[in-house]
Amino acid sequence: MGNETIRTRFAPSPTGELHIGNARTALYNWLFARQHGGAFILRIEDTDKERSTEAFTVVLLKDLKWLGIDWDEGPCKGGPFEPYQQSKRLDIYHEYLDILKKQNLVYPCFCTVEELEKERRDLLARRMMPRYMGKCRGLNQDQQAKLRAEGRKPAYRFKVRQGCILFQDHIRGIMRFDGETIGDFIVMRSNGLPAYNFAVVIDDHLMKITHVIRGEDHLSNTASQLLLYEALQCEPPEYYHHSLILGPDHAKLSKRHGAVSIGEFRKKGYLSEALFNYLGLLGTSLGAGREICPASTIIQAFNIEKVGKSGASFDESKLKWMNASYLRSYDVVKLGEAVRSNLTDNADNEIWDLPDDTLNAFIALIKPNLETINGIKDYLGILYDKALFFTEEADAILKEDKNIKVLLVFYDLLDAKEDCTATEWRELLRQASKITGLKGKALYMPIRAAITGMTRGPEMDALFQFLGKESIKKRIGRLIGNKRHG
Protein backbone atom coordinates (compact mmCIF):
# COMPACT_ATOMS: atom_id res chain seq x y z
CA MET A 1 0.00 0.00 0.00
CA GLY A 2 1.18 3.51 -0.76
CA ASN A 3 1.71 5.86 2.12
CA GLU A 4 -1.22 8.02 1.09
CA THR A 5 -3.68 5.16 1.63
CA ILE A 6 -2.72 4.28 5.21
CA ARG A 7 -5.56 4.81 7.67
CA THR A 8 -5.40 3.74 11.31
CA ARG A 9 -7.98 4.18 14.04
CA PHE A 10 -8.51 4.24 17.76
CA ALA A 11 -11.99 3.13 18.79
CA PRO A 12 -12.52 3.35 22.56
CA SER A 13 -15.70 2.67 24.49
CA PRO A 14 -16.66 5.59 26.79
CA THR A 15 -17.32 3.39 29.82
CA GLY A 16 -14.62 4.85 32.05
CA GLU A 17 -11.51 7.00 32.03
CA LEU A 18 -8.83 6.43 29.39
CA HIS A 19 -6.67 3.53 30.61
CA ILE A 20 -2.92 3.83 30.16
CA GLY A 21 -2.94 0.64 28.06
CA ASN A 22 -5.58 2.01 25.70
CA ALA A 23 -3.68 5.29 25.49
CA ARG A 24 -0.59 3.38 24.33
CA THR A 25 -2.71 1.66 21.66
CA ALA A 26 -3.95 5.08 20.51
CA LEU A 27 -0.36 6.35 20.45
CA TYR A 28 0.88 3.38 18.38
CA ASN A 29 -1.87 3.99 15.81
CA TRP A 30 -1.13 7.73 15.78
CA LEU A 31 2.62 7.19 15.38
CA PHE A 32 2.12 4.71 12.53
CA ALA A 33 -0.23 7.07 10.68
CA ARG A 34 2.00 10.11 11.18
CA GLN A 35 5.11 8.18 10.18
CA HIS A 36 3.56 7.13 6.87
CA GLY A 37 1.74 10.35 6.08
CA GLY A 38 -1.60 8.63 6.59
CA ALA A 39 -4.74 9.48 8.54
CA PHE A 40 -5.58 8.72 12.16
CA ILE A 41 -9.30 8.26 12.86
CA LEU A 42 -11.02 8.44 16.24
CA ARG A 43 -14.27 6.47 16.54
CA ILE A 44 -16.42 6.22 19.66
CA GLU A 45 -17.85 2.73 20.25
CA ASP A 46 -20.75 3.57 22.55
CA THR A 47 -23.31 0.84 21.90
CA ASP A 48 -23.05 -0.40 25.49
CA LYS A 49 -25.89 1.86 26.61
CA GLU A 50 -25.78 0.80 30.25
CA ARG A 51 -22.13 1.79 30.76
CA SER A 52 -21.38 4.39 28.08
CA THR A 53 -21.82 8.05 29.03
CA GLU A 54 -21.32 11.36 27.28
CA ALA A 55 -19.29 12.52 30.29
CA PHE A 56 -16.73 9.76 29.71
CA THR A 57 -16.58 10.70 26.03
CA VAL A 58 -15.74 14.30 26.95
CA VAL A 59 -13.01 13.14 29.35
CA LEU A 60 -11.62 10.74 26.76
CA LEU A 61 -11.27 13.49 24.14
CA LYS A 62 -9.69 15.80 26.71
CA ASP A 63 -7.14 13.17 27.78
CA LEU A 64 -6.12 12.37 24.19
CA LYS A 65 -5.63 16.06 23.41
CA TRP A 66 -3.65 16.58 26.62
CA LEU A 67 -1.39 13.66 25.71
CA GLY A 68 -0.69 15.23 22.32
CA ILE A 69 -2.70 12.79 20.19
CA ASP A 70 -4.80 14.59 17.61
CA TRP A 71 -7.06 12.99 15.00
CA ASP A 72 -7.79 13.71 11.36
CA GLU A 73 -11.37 12.44 11.43
CA GLY A 74 -13.75 11.87 14.32
CA PRO A 75 -15.65 13.73 17.04
CA CYS A 76 -15.35 17.53 16.91
CA LYS A 77 -13.53 17.14 13.59
CA GLY A 78 -15.98 15.43 11.23
CA GLY A 79 -14.86 13.67 8.08
CA PRO A 80 -16.10 11.86 4.97
CA PHE A 81 -17.44 8.85 6.88
CA GLU A 82 -19.57 10.52 9.55
CA PRO A 83 -20.90 9.83 12.06
CA TYR A 84 -17.92 8.58 14.06
CA GLN A 85 -20.09 7.45 16.96
CA GLN A 86 -21.56 3.94 16.78
CA SER A 87 -24.81 4.84 18.54
CA LYS A 88 -25.57 7.09 15.55
CA ARG A 89 -24.84 4.38 12.97
CA LEU A 90 -27.47 1.78 13.95
CA ASP A 91 -29.30 1.92 10.59
CA ILE A 92 -26.04 1.03 8.84
CA TYR A 93 -25.55 -2.09 10.97
CA HIS A 94 -29.11 -3.29 10.28
CA GLU A 95 -28.55 -2.83 6.53
CA TYR A 96 -25.56 -5.16 6.74
CA LEU A 97 -27.51 -7.60 8.89
CA ASP A 98 -30.07 -7.80 6.07
CA ILE A 99 -27.26 -8.63 3.65
CA LEU A 100 -26.22 -11.56 5.84
CA LYS A 101 -29.84 -12.67 6.23
CA LYS A 102 -30.34 -12.80 2.46
CA GLN A 103 -27.26 -15.01 2.18
CA ASN A 104 -28.56 -17.28 4.96
CA LEU A 105 -25.39 -16.59 6.97
CA VAL A 106 -27.16 -15.64 10.19
CA TYR A 107 -30.06 -17.05 12.19
CA PRO A 108 -32.25 -15.91 15.09
CA CYS A 109 -31.24 -17.19 18.51
CA PHE A 110 -33.90 -17.26 21.25
CA CYS A 111 -31.72 -18.62 24.06
CA THR A 112 -32.06 -16.80 27.37
CA VAL A 113 -29.17 -15.55 29.47
CA GLU A 114 -29.85 -18.36 31.94
CA GLU A 115 -29.77 -21.02 29.22
CA LEU A 116 -26.51 -19.70 27.83
CA GLU A 117 -24.93 -19.57 31.27
CA LYS A 118 -25.94 -23.19 31.94
CA GLU A 119 -24.38 -24.23 28.62
CA ARG A 120 -21.18 -22.39 29.53
CA ARG A 121 -20.96 -24.09 32.94
CA ASP A 122 -21.61 -27.52 31.43
CA LEU A 123 -18.81 -27.07 28.89
CA LEU A 124 -16.38 -25.90 31.55
CA ALA A 125 -17.29 -28.90 33.70
CA ARG A 126 -16.39 -31.11 30.74
CA ARG A 127 -13.14 -29.17 30.34
CA MET A 128 -14.22 -27.82 26.98
CA MET A 129 -13.84 -24.29 25.59
CA PRO A 130 -17.05 -22.33 26.31
CA ARG A 131 -18.88 -21.51 23.08
CA TYR A 132 -22.39 -21.55 21.66
CA MET A 133 -23.25 -25.08 20.56
CA GLY A 134 -25.83 -24.10 17.93
CA LYS A 135 -29.08 -24.92 19.72
CA CYS A 136 -31.14 -22.48 17.61
CA ARG A 137 -29.27 -22.99 14.34
CA GLY A 138 -31.62 -25.69 13.13
CA LEU A 139 -34.96 -24.14 14.17
CA ASN A 140 -37.53 -24.12 11.37
CA GLN A 141 -39.97 -21.29 10.62
CA ASP A 142 -42.75 -22.75 12.77
CA GLN A 143 -40.47 -23.20 15.78
CA GLN A 144 -39.18 -19.66 15.42
CA ALA A 145 -42.74 -18.30 15.15
CA LYS A 146 -43.76 -20.16 18.30
CA LEU A 147 -40.86 -18.68 20.30
CA ARG A 148 -41.68 -15.20 19.03
CA ALA A 149 -45.31 -15.72 20.08
CA GLU A 150 -44.04 -16.46 23.60
CA GLY A 151 -42.57 -12.95 23.63
CA ARG A 152 -38.96 -13.95 23.08
CA LYS A 153 -36.93 -11.41 21.12
CA PRO A 154 -34.11 -13.07 19.21
CA ALA A 155 -30.53 -12.08 18.82
CA TYR A 156 -28.87 -12.96 15.51
CA ARG A 157 -25.90 -15.29 15.32
CA PHE A 158 -23.40 -15.69 12.52
CA LYS A 159 -22.95 -19.20 11.10
CA VAL A 160 -19.29 -19.95 11.67
CA ARG A 161 -17.80 -22.22 9.05
CA GLN A 162 -15.74 -25.20 10.04
CA GLY A 163 -12.03 -25.35 9.39
CA CYS A 164 -8.94 -23.27 10.02
CA ILE A 165 -8.96 -19.48 10.15
CA LEU A 166 -5.50 -18.32 9.21
CA PHE A 167 -4.10 -14.80 9.23
CA GLN A 168 -0.80 -12.94 9.30
CA ASP A 169 -0.17 -10.81 12.36
CA HIS A 170 2.72 -8.45 11.66
CA ILE A 171 4.01 -8.65 15.23
CA ARG A 172 3.29 -12.28 16.10
CA GLY A 173 3.50 -14.08 12.77
CA ILE A 174 1.00 -16.60 11.41
CA MET A 175 -2.03 -17.08 13.68
CA ARG A 176 -4.41 -20.06 13.49
CA PHE A 177 -7.89 -20.50 14.96
CA ASP A 178 -10.34 -23.37 14.57
CA GLY A 179 -13.88 -22.40 13.57
CA GLU A 180 -15.30 -25.19 15.70
CA THR A 181 -13.82 -23.71 18.88
CA ILE A 182 -15.26 -20.26 18.15
CA GLY A 183 -18.92 -21.22 17.88
CA ASP A 184 -21.67 -19.21 16.23
CA PHE A 185 -21.31 -15.70 17.65
CA ILE A 186 -23.86 -12.93 18.05
CA VAL A 187 -23.80 -10.12 15.49
CA MET A 188 -26.99 -8.33 16.58
CA ARG A 189 -28.32 -8.38 20.12
CA SER A 190 -31.99 -8.87 20.94
CA ASN A 191 -32.23 -5.16 21.84
CA GLY A 192 -31.33 -4.20 18.27
CA LEU A 193 -27.77 -3.10 19.09
CA PRO A 194 -24.82 -4.57 17.18
CA ALA A 195 -22.28 -6.82 18.86
CA TYR A 196 -18.70 -5.58 19.00
CA ASN A 197 -17.23 -7.77 16.24
CA PHE A 198 -20.03 -6.98 13.80
CA ALA A 199 -19.95 -3.19 14.26
CA VAL A 200 -16.15 -3.07 14.12
CA VAL A 201 -15.98 -4.90 10.80
CA ILE A 202 -18.59 -2.68 9.18
CA ASP A 203 -17.06 0.53 10.51
CA ASP A 204 -13.49 -0.43 9.61
CA HIS A 205 -14.64 -1.40 6.12
CA LEU A 206 -16.70 1.73 5.47
CA MET A 207 -14.07 4.03 6.99
CA LYS A 208 -11.40 2.40 4.79
CA ILE A 209 -9.16 1.40 7.71
CA THR A 210 -6.02 -0.20 6.30
CA HIS A 211 -4.12 -1.13 9.47
CA VAL A 212 -5.55 -2.26 12.81
CA ILE A 213 -3.13 -1.94 15.74
CA ARG A 214 -4.48 -3.20 19.06
CA GLY A 215 -3.76 -5.36 22.10
CA GLU A 216 -3.16 -9.10 22.00
CA ASP A 217 -6.40 -9.64 23.92
CA HIS A 218 -8.19 -9.00 20.59
CA LEU A 219 -6.53 -11.91 18.75
CA SER A 220 -9.58 -14.18 19.02
CA ASN A 221 -11.81 -11.29 17.93
CA THR A 222 -9.72 -11.00 14.78
CA ALA A 223 -10.60 -14.57 13.82
CA SER A 224 -14.32 -13.82 14.13
CA GLN A 225 -13.96 -10.54 12.26
CA LEU A 226 -12.14 -12.18 9.37
CA LEU A 227 -15.08 -14.57 8.96
CA LEU A 228 -17.37 -11.56 8.61
CA TYR A 229 -15.05 -9.90 6.08
CA GLU A 230 -15.12 -13.14 4.13
CA ALA A 231 -18.93 -13.34 4.26
CA LEU A 232 -19.33 -9.72 3.15
CA GLN A 233 -16.66 -10.16 0.46
CA CYS A 234 -14.64 -7.23 1.78
CA GLU A 235 -10.86 -6.90 2.01
CA PRO A 236 -9.69 -6.99 5.65
CA PRO A 237 -7.05 -4.60 7.04
CA GLU A 238 -3.54 -5.56 8.08
CA TYR A 239 -3.30 -6.62 11.74
CA TYR A 240 -0.79 -5.87 14.48
CA HIS A 241 -1.47 -7.19 18.00
CA HIS A 242 0.90 -5.72 20.57
CA SER A 243 1.52 -7.02 24.08
CA LEU A 244 -0.40 -5.70 27.09
CA ILE A 245 0.98 -3.47 29.83
CA LEU A 246 1.75 -5.37 33.02
CA GLY A 247 2.11 -4.34 36.64
CA PRO A 248 5.19 -5.05 38.80
CA ASP A 249 3.76 -8.51 39.58
CA HIS A 250 3.55 -9.28 35.82
CA ALA A 251 -0.26 -9.35 35.95
CA LYS A 252 -2.30 -7.13 33.62
CA LEU A 253 -2.06 -3.53 34.84
CA SER A 254 -5.13 -2.69 36.93
CA LYS A 255 -6.26 -0.32 39.68
CA ARG A 256 -4.75 -2.51 42.36
CA HIS A 257 -1.34 -1.47 40.99
CA GLY A 258 -2.12 2.24 41.55
CA ALA A 259 -2.82 4.91 38.96
CA VAL A 260 -3.91 3.42 35.63
CA SER A 261 -5.71 6.23 33.80
CA ILE A 262 -4.32 9.20 31.89
CA GLY A 263 -6.37 11.52 34.10
CA GLU A 264 -4.79 10.10 37.25
CA PHE A 265 -1.26 10.62 35.95
CA ARG A 266 -2.13 14.17 34.92
CA LYS A 267 -3.48 14.88 38.42
CA LYS A 268 -0.32 13.41 39.96
CA GLY A 269 1.67 16.11 38.19
CA TYR A 270 3.22 14.33 35.22
CA LEU A 271 3.91 16.31 32.07
CA SER A 272 2.11 15.21 28.92
CA GLU A 273 5.40 15.22 26.98
CA ALA A 274 7.00 12.83 29.48
CA LEU A 275 4.06 10.41 29.51
CA PHE A 276 3.91 10.51 25.70
CA ASN A 277 7.64 9.75 25.56
CA TYR A 278 7.39 6.93 28.10
CA LEU A 279 4.44 5.24 26.37
CA GLY A 280 6.21 5.55 23.03
CA LEU A 281 9.10 3.54 24.45
CA LEU A 282 7.11 1.06 26.54
CA GLY A 283 7.43 -2.37 24.97
CA THR A 284 9.73 -1.24 22.17
CA SER A 285 12.95 0.68 21.50
CA LEU A 286 13.94 3.66 19.41
CA GLY A 287 17.42 2.27 18.91
CA ALA A 288 20.85 3.76 19.67
CA GLY A 289 19.99 3.84 23.37
CA ARG A 290 17.67 6.82 22.86
CA GLU A 291 15.19 7.49 25.65
CA ILE A 292 14.42 11.20 26.08
CA CYS A 293 13.05 12.12 22.66
CA PRO A 294 10.62 14.68 21.24
CA ALA A 295 7.52 13.47 19.40
CA SER A 296 9.13 14.16 16.01
CA THR A 297 11.99 11.77 16.78
CA ILE A 298 9.66 9.09 18.11
CA ILE A 299 7.54 9.31 14.94
CA GLN A 300 10.64 8.86 12.78
CA ALA A 301 12.19 6.02 14.81
CA PHE A 302 9.02 4.06 15.69
CA ASN A 303 8.80 0.57 14.19
CA ILE A 304 5.53 -1.24 14.90
CA GLU A 305 6.92 -4.58 13.76
CA LYS A 306 9.61 -4.40 16.45
CA VAL A 307 7.14 -3.98 19.30
CA GLY A 308 7.78 -6.78 21.79
CA LYS A 309 5.60 -9.89 21.90
CA SER A 310 5.87 -10.25 25.67
CA GLY A 311 4.13 -8.01 28.19
CA ALA A 312 5.66 -4.62 28.92
CA SER A 313 6.05 -3.85 32.63
CA PHE A 314 4.93 -0.41 33.68
CA ASP A 315 7.63 1.15 35.86
CA GLU A 316 6.45 4.38 37.45
CA SER A 317 9.92 5.08 38.83
CA LYS A 318 11.21 5.16 35.22
CA LEU A 319 8.35 7.46 34.24
CA LYS A 320 9.19 9.69 37.21
CA TRP A 321 12.84 9.83 36.14
CA MET A 322 11.80 10.78 32.62
CA ASN A 323 9.37 13.39 33.93
CA ALA A 324 12.12 14.93 36.08
CA SER A 325 14.32 15.19 33.01
CA TYR A 326 11.59 17.04 31.12
CA LEU A 327 10.95 19.33 34.09
CA ARG A 328 14.59 20.39 34.28
CA SER A 329 14.47 21.71 30.72
CA TYR A 330 10.88 22.97 30.83
CA ASP A 331 10.09 26.61 30.15
CA VAL A 332 9.54 28.36 33.48
CA VAL A 333 6.49 30.33 32.31
CA LYS A 334 4.80 27.20 30.89
CA LEU A 335 5.58 25.32 34.07
CA GLY A 336 4.07 28.14 36.11
CA GLU A 337 0.85 27.77 34.14
CA ALA A 338 0.89 24.01 34.71
CA VAL A 339 1.43 24.52 38.45
CA ARG A 340 -1.54 26.88 38.71
CA SER A 341 -3.63 24.35 36.77
CA ASN A 342 -2.62 21.36 38.90
CA LEU A 343 -2.55 22.79 42.41
CA THR A 344 -6.20 23.65 42.92
CA ASP A 345 -7.03 22.15 46.31
CA ASN A 346 -7.62 24.41 49.31
CA ALA A 347 -4.20 23.86 50.82
CA ASP A 348 -2.52 25.35 47.77
CA ASN A 349 -4.81 28.27 47.03
CA GLU A 350 -2.08 30.75 47.92
CA ILE A 351 -0.27 29.70 44.76
CA TRP A 352 -3.03 31.42 42.82
CA ASP A 353 -2.38 34.72 44.60
CA LEU A 354 1.33 34.89 43.81
CA PRO A 355 2.44 37.37 41.14
CA ASP A 356 3.71 35.59 38.03
CA ASP A 357 7.27 36.83 38.47
CA THR A 358 7.42 35.52 42.07
CA LEU A 359 5.98 32.14 41.13
CA ASN A 360 8.26 31.82 38.13
CA ALA A 361 11.32 32.72 40.21
CA PHE A 362 10.30 30.10 42.77
CA ILE A 363 9.81 27.48 40.06
CA ALA A 364 13.19 28.31 38.51
CA LEU A 365 14.70 27.75 41.99
CA ILE A 366 13.19 24.33 42.67
CA LYS A 367 12.57 22.73 39.26
CA PRO A 368 15.98 20.98 39.19
CA ASN A 369 14.74 19.09 42.27
CA LEU A 370 11.24 18.25 41.05
CA GLU A 371 10.10 14.84 39.82
CA THR A 372 6.47 15.87 39.24
CA ILE A 373 4.61 19.17 39.14
CA ASN A 374 2.91 18.25 42.40
CA GLY A 375 6.33 17.94 44.01
CA ILE A 376 6.21 21.70 44.39
CA LYS A 377 4.10 21.07 47.52
CA ASP A 378 7.22 19.75 49.26
CA TYR A 379 8.91 23.12 48.83
CA LEU A 380 6.11 25.50 49.79
CA GLY A 381 7.89 26.10 53.09
CA ILE A 382 10.47 28.09 51.14
CA LEU A 383 7.70 30.41 49.94
CA TYR A 384 5.61 30.75 53.09
CA ASP A 385 6.79 30.78 56.70
CA LYS A 386 3.52 29.21 57.84
CA ALA A 387 4.05 26.31 55.43
CA LEU A 388 7.51 25.58 56.81
CA PHE A 389 7.53 21.99 58.02
CA PHE A 390 10.56 20.20 59.43
CA THR A 391 11.17 16.67 58.26
CA GLU A 392 12.39 14.08 60.76
CA GLU A 393 15.89 14.29 59.28
CA ALA A 394 15.97 18.08 59.49
CA ASP A 395 14.55 18.06 63.01
CA ALA A 396 17.23 15.60 64.17
CA ILE A 397 19.98 17.78 62.71
CA LEU A 398 18.67 20.91 64.44
CA LYS A 399 18.70 19.20 67.85
CA GLU A 400 22.47 18.71 67.81
CA ASP A 401 24.51 21.30 69.69
CA LYS A 402 27.26 21.44 67.06
CA ASN A 403 24.68 22.35 64.42
CA ILE A 404 23.13 25.05 66.61
CA LYS A 405 26.64 26.50 66.90
CA VAL A 406 26.82 26.71 63.10
CA LEU A 407 23.51 28.62 63.05
CA LEU A 408 24.69 31.01 65.79
CA VAL A 409 27.86 31.79 63.87
CA PHE A 410 26.06 32.19 60.55
CA TYR A 411 23.39 34.43 62.11
CA ASP A 412 25.96 36.79 63.62
CA LEU A 413 27.87 37.01 60.34
CA LEU A 414 24.62 37.70 58.51
CA ASP A 415 23.50 40.27 61.05
CA ALA A 416 26.65 42.28 60.44
CA LYS A 417 25.87 42.60 56.74
CA GLU A 418 23.52 45.21 55.31
CA ASP A 419 22.75 43.17 52.21
CA CYS A 420 24.22 40.22 50.39
CA THR A 421 25.12 39.60 46.77
CA ALA A 422 25.84 36.11 45.43
CA THR A 423 29.55 36.69 46.01
CA GLU A 424 28.95 37.92 49.57
CA TRP A 425 26.86 34.87 50.42
CA ARG A 426 29.78 32.64 49.46
CA GLU A 427 32.11 34.81 51.55
CA LEU A 428 29.80 34.43 54.56
CA LEU A 429 29.95 30.66 54.22
CA ARG A 430 33.74 30.81 53.92
CA GLN A 431 33.96 32.85 57.11
CA ALA A 432 31.55 30.50 58.92
CA SER A 433 33.70 27.57 57.85
CA LYS A 434 36.83 29.26 59.19
CA ILE A 435 35.20 30.02 62.55
CA THR A 436 33.58 26.60 63.07
CA GLY A 437 36.24 24.48 61.40
CA LEU A 438 33.51 22.74 59.42
CA LYS A 439 33.17 22.21 55.65
CA GLY A 440 30.77 20.74 53.15
CA LYS A 441 27.61 19.11 54.47
CA ALA A 442 28.65 19.59 58.08
CA LEU A 443 28.44 23.32 57.46
CA TYR A 444 25.65 23.59 54.88
CA MET A 445 23.17 21.04 56.19
CA PRO A 446 22.23 22.81 59.45
CA ILE A 447 21.65 26.05 57.52
CA ARG A 448 19.57 24.28 54.85
CA ALA A 449 17.52 22.47 57.49
CA ALA A 450 16.90 25.72 59.38
CA ILE A 451 15.67 27.75 56.41
CA THR A 452 13.81 25.07 54.41
CA GLY A 453 12.90 22.37 56.96
CA MET A 454 14.50 19.80 54.63
CA THR A 455 17.86 18.15 54.05
CA ARG A 456 17.64 18.34 50.25
CA GLY A 457 16.60 20.97 47.78
CA PRO A 458 17.87 23.87 45.68
CA GLU A 459 21.51 24.93 45.45
CA MET A 460 22.48 27.05 48.47
CA ASP A 461 23.55 30.09 46.43
CA ALA A 462 20.24 30.19 44.58
CA LEU A 463 18.33 29.58 47.81
CA PHE A 464 20.04 32.48 49.57
CA GLN A 465 19.35 34.82 46.68
CA PHE A 466 15.68 33.83 46.51
CA LEU A 467 14.93 34.09 50.24
CA GLY A 468 17.03 37.16 50.96
CA LYS A 469 18.81 38.23 54.12
CA GLU A 470 15.81 39.21 56.27
CA SER A 471 13.83 36.04 55.65
CA ILE A 472 16.86 33.87 56.41
CA LYS A 473 17.64 35.84 59.58
CA LYS A 474 14.04 35.46 60.71
CA ARG A 475 14.00 31.69 60.18
CA ILE A 476 17.33 31.06 61.86
CA GLY A 477 16.53 33.51 64.64
CA ARG A 478 13.40 31.58 65.61
CA LEU A 479 15.45 28.42 66.06
CA ILE A 480 18.38 29.78 68.00
CA GLY A 481 16.30 32.10 70.22
CA ASN A 482 18.16 33.30 73.29
CA LYS A 483 21.02 30.90 72.60
CA ARG A 484 22.53 33.65 70.44
CA HIS A 485 23.56 35.50 73.59
CA GLY A 486 23.93 32.48 75.83
Residues catalogued as catalytic:
255
Nearest CA-CA partner of 449 in 480, 421, 418, 484: 480
Residue 246's SS3 state is: strand
C-alpha separations of 98 from 93, 104, 105, 144, 190 in Å: 9, 10, 10, 18, 15
Is the torsion defined by CA of 230, 32, 10, 246 positive or negative?
Answer: positive
Closest CA to 202 of 163, 158, 165, 172: 158
Long-range contacts of 457-465 (CB under 8 A, 24+ apart): 457/366, 457/369, 457/379, 457/382, 458/365, 458/366, 458/368, 458/369, 458/379, 458/382, 459/368, 460/425, 460/429, 461/422, 461/425, 461/426, 462/365, 463/365, 463/382, 464/420, 464/422, 464/425, 465/422, 465/425
Between CA 251 and CA 296 the distance in angstroms is 32
Contact 211, 237 (CB under 8 A): yes
**Using the 8-state DSSP alphabet, how is residue 327 labeled?**
H
Spatial separation of the C-alpha atoms in residues 12 and 173, rounded to whole Å? 26
With CA atoms as reference, report the closest residue to 159 among 196, 133, 185: 185
Question: CB-based contacts of 98: which residues, under 8 Å, 6+ apart?
Answer: none
Q: Is 201 exposed, middle or buried (0-12, 13-18, 19+ CB in 10 A)?
A: buried
283 by DSSP, 3-state: which? coil
> Within 13 A of 212's CA, how many CA atoms are on the CB side?
27
User: What residues form DSSP beta bridges with 312?
Assistant: 245
Helix boundaries (H) for 282-439: 295-301, 316-328, 332-342, 350-353, 356-366, 380-383, 392-397, 401-415, 422-436
Other Cβ atoms less than 10 A from the Cβ of 353: the count is 8
